[in-house]
Chains A and B, each alone.
Chain A
Amino acid sequence: DAEITQSPRHKITETGRQVTLACHQTWNHNNMFWYRQDLGHGLRLIHYSYGVQDTNKGEVSDGYSVSRSNTEDLPLTLESAASSQTSVYFCASSEAGMNTEAFFGQGTRLTVV
């Protein structure tokens, strides 16, 4: 069965360190997204990609970057981790097109100390 997997599921890192969260999907979807979920804010879009070599900023992109070198993977990098980036991160993918539903990964809980 096709799926979308995130790794690691949990991570603790120190302020100032660079951290990369992995996202891998086997749906062969063109669209991939990274969200963060925080109490009181719901899910907020960080970055998204519509295909290989395409990346776009979402509403909370400061301090984050992504790259898309193949269809399956969209790693999220925190360039210099800050305590404000402690959150649960979700990757999602969807087919190309307007109203296609997104499939989400299980999430990565990141704690920055």
Chain B
Amino acid sequence: EDQVTQSPEALRLQEGESSSLNCSYTVSGLRGLFWYRQDPGKGPEFLFTLYSAGEEKEKERLKATLTKKESFLHITAPKPEDSATYLCAVYVDGTSYGKLTFGQGTILTVHP
């Protein structure tokens, strides 16, 4: 069974304190790994897609990386507006187009 596990469940940072969120996966064959941001009361918002080990993508203070077993979302010098729940999801071999398996998310709080 495909599994996606995110850690930690919650992370509190001071503004400017860099850190990383982890998404580990156990799947039969990874086609793509997605990162989403979700603000309270809103739907998830797409951030990145990673396709193969070694790939990296950046957007402002966020950088996503991918290995054969996990992905990291690095947050550099975070600001309070980066506070949100970060979700990762995988698309795997043998599943129909667009079907994603989500992790449970990491709740990030950045204090000023």
Contacts and interface: CB of A to CB of B under 8 A. Distances in A.
Contacts, number: 63
Which DSSP category, helix, strand, loop or mixed, fits chain B's interface?
A: loop
A20 B31 CA distance: 33
Residue among A31, A35, A99 with max Cβ neighbours from chain B (10 Å): A99
Contacts of B99: 33, 45, 48, 58
B105 A42 contact: yes
A94 B36 CA distance: 14
A30 to B, nearest CB: 9
B98 A31 contact: yes
Interface residues of B, number: 24
**Closest 8 interchain pairs by CB?**
A104-B43, A43-B102, A42-B104, A99-B32, A101-B46, A31-B98, A42-B102, A104-B44
Given A42-B87, A106-B43, 4 more contacts: A31-B98, A33-B98, A106-B41, A107-B41
Interface of A: 31, 33, 35, 40-45, 48, 50, 56, 58, 90, 92, 94, 96-107
